[in-house]
Amino acid sequence: MTLKIMTVYGTRPEAIKVAPVIKALEESPDFESVTVVTGQHREMLDQVNELFGIVPDHDMNIMSHGQTLAQIFARVLAGLDPILEKEKPAALIVQGDTSTSTAAALAAFYRQIPVVHLEAGLRSRNIMSPFPEEANRKLTTQIAALHLAPTETSRANLLAEGIDPTTIVVTGNTVIDALLMTVSKDVAFTDPRLEHLAVSGRRILLVTTHRRENWGGTMEGVGRALARIARAFPDVEIVLPAHRNPVVRDAVLPQLDGFNNVTVTEPLPYGEFARLMSLSAVILTDSGGVQEEAPSLNKPVLVMRENTERPEAVAAGVVRLIGVDEERIVTEVGTQIHARRPVGASARSRNPYGDGQSSKVVLDALRRSFREAFSL
């Protein structure tokens, strides 16, 4: 008897983190894998599926430019329901804290399909930051049947909220599986500017930004800080793979026009981005996933946020929270970019998010949870 497991995802980070699990499900004789993409992201999602060779069974194609949170949620909830009715999965996997993941979890819950929450238990303890992710992850916790927590800290967060301990399994984070599957491959940059930069040996400051709570004035401040850094450090090349969101581009990019030491690119395929991270001197970001990946690459990461739900990376000495103030960003980058012992130089060799074997632990947890029901 095989168990039909449906995985629903919609954005770049979800795609990266579910890919190793989907591959493992496909290879296992115990499971039948059904994949559904909502298409909350379009190009950035397709890029990842292509890299991992995943062809979704269903594509809801919901993305629209300028989509609101309510629109994403409503489209996923309504669009997934008939797919659930047709496929009747034994369980549904969602990942993390996006609108796709919480809406998909709710659609499954309404049909009494057990929800498996991958990357459960992250908490910043500020409902407005990250927004709306802190609320999303807490909502999903309320309706999930199986909580796959990446670390002991996330398990403790769930226990503190009264979650039944028998429904929590610590798995590590599958992003490390994805990273190690990818970073080991020899990848050439598609953009010739990056290939030239790679051989030049110049210092690289890699920057990514997209967080909704930073949209507007705060993100314009990030753009101004980058322009000041470009001026102050002509020997440093700033590389910014720009998120597809026009709100982000409009806030940051106009201020970076005309610098010959700033390279703005389209979102990079994951393999190219992983190579660029390895080549960088410092990474400046507000990304969640990059904070988890950095300890495996031993790269200093300055996080443009006031808080983090990833305290393990800070404790590992790789990540420093620097906030979003323009002045502070300029100072912190200035200190780190030429430092003899930058943040991360003291990092422990073990990544607190795992060793690349998390998807195996996830499959074991699924087997154990459903053993009695399906005599696996």
Catalytic residues: 97, 119, 133, 210, 212, 243
Q: Which lies closer to ligand UD1 via its Cβ, residue 237 or residue 293? A: 293
User: Is the torsion defined by CA of 135, 138, 142, 143 positive or negative?
Assistant: positive
Rounded Cα distance, 300 and 187, in Å = 22
* Region of 63-71, 105-113, 233-241, 253-261 interacting with ligand UD1 (CB under 6 A): 63-71
Positions 129 through 188 that interact with ligand UD1 (CB under 6 A): 132-133
- Residue 66 in contact with ligand UD1, rule: CB under 6 A: yes
The H helix count followed by the E strand count for the chain is 15, 13
For ligand UDP, the closer of residues 150 and 267 by Cβ is 267
**73 sits near ligand UDP (criterion: CB under 6 A):** no
Rule CB under 6 A: say whether 210 interacts with ligand UDP.
yes
User: Rule CB under 6 A: is residue 244 a binding residue for ligand UD1?
Assistant: yes
**Do the beta carbons of residue 232 and residue 255 sit within 8 Å?**
no
- The CA–CA distances, whole Å, from 346 to 24, 51, 191, 215 equal 34, 33, 33, 33
Q: What angle, 0 to 180 degrees and rounded to 10, lies between the N-to-C axes of helices 358-374 and 174-183?
A: 130
Of the residues 10, 13, 79, 344, which one makes contact with ligand UDP according to CB under 6 A: 13
Asked if 289 is part of the footprint of ligand UDP (rule: CB under 6 A), the reply reads yes
Please identify which residue in 136, 208, 255, 369 interacts with ligand UDP, judged by CB under 6 A.
Answer: 208
Query: What is the closest distance, in whole angstroms, from the C-beta atom of residue 327 to ligand UD1 in the complex?
Result: 25
273/277 Cα distance (integer angstroms): 6
Interacting residue with ligand UDP among 119, 213, 237, 293 (CB under 6 A): 293
Residue 361: Cβ-neighbour burial (10 angstroms; 0-12, 13-18, 19+): middle
Give yes or no for a contact between 34 and 59, defined as CB atoms under 8 angstroms apart: no
The rounded distance, in Å, linking the Cα atoms of 304 and 251 is 15
**Enclosing H/E stretch for 239:** strand 236-241
Helical axes 288-297 vs 174-183, angle rounded to 10°: 60
Out of ligand UD1, ligand UDP, none, which partner does residue 132 contact, by CB within 5 to 8 A per kind? ligand UD1
In the complex with ligand UDP, the residue whose CB is nearer, 31 or 189, is 189
Site map for ligand UD1, 4-43, x if CB under 6 A? -------xxx--------------------------xxxx
Ramachandran sector of residue 342 (left: φ over 0; alpha: ψ -120 to 50; beta: rest): beta
Least distance to ligand UDP, CB of residue 175, Å: 6
Residue 290 CB, nearest distance to ligand UDP (Å)?
A: 5
Exactly one of 30, 52, 57, 67 binds ligand UD1 (CB under 6 A); that residue is 67
Query: Shortest Cβ distance from residue 245 to ligand UD1 (Å)?
Result: 3
DSSP, collapsed to helix, strand or coil, labels residue 64 as coil
* Cα separation of the two ends of the chain: 7
16 binds, among ligand UDP, ligand UD1, none (CB under 5 to 8 A by kind): ligand UDP
Q: Is 150 in the site for ligand UDP (CB under 6 A)?
A: no
Beta bridge partners of 95: 118
Burial class (CB in 10 A: 0-12, 13-18, 19+), 326: middle
CA neighbours closer than 13 Å in the CB half-sphere of residue 224: 11
Of residues 256-285, those binding ligand UDP (CB under 6 A): 267-268, 270, 273
Binding positions for ligand UD1, rule: CB under 6 A: 11-13, 40-44, 63, 65-67, 69, 72, 98-99, 132-133, 210, 212, 244-246
Binding positions for ligand UDP, rule: CB under 6 A: 12-13, 16, 175, 208, 210, 241, 267-268, 270, 273, 287-290, 293
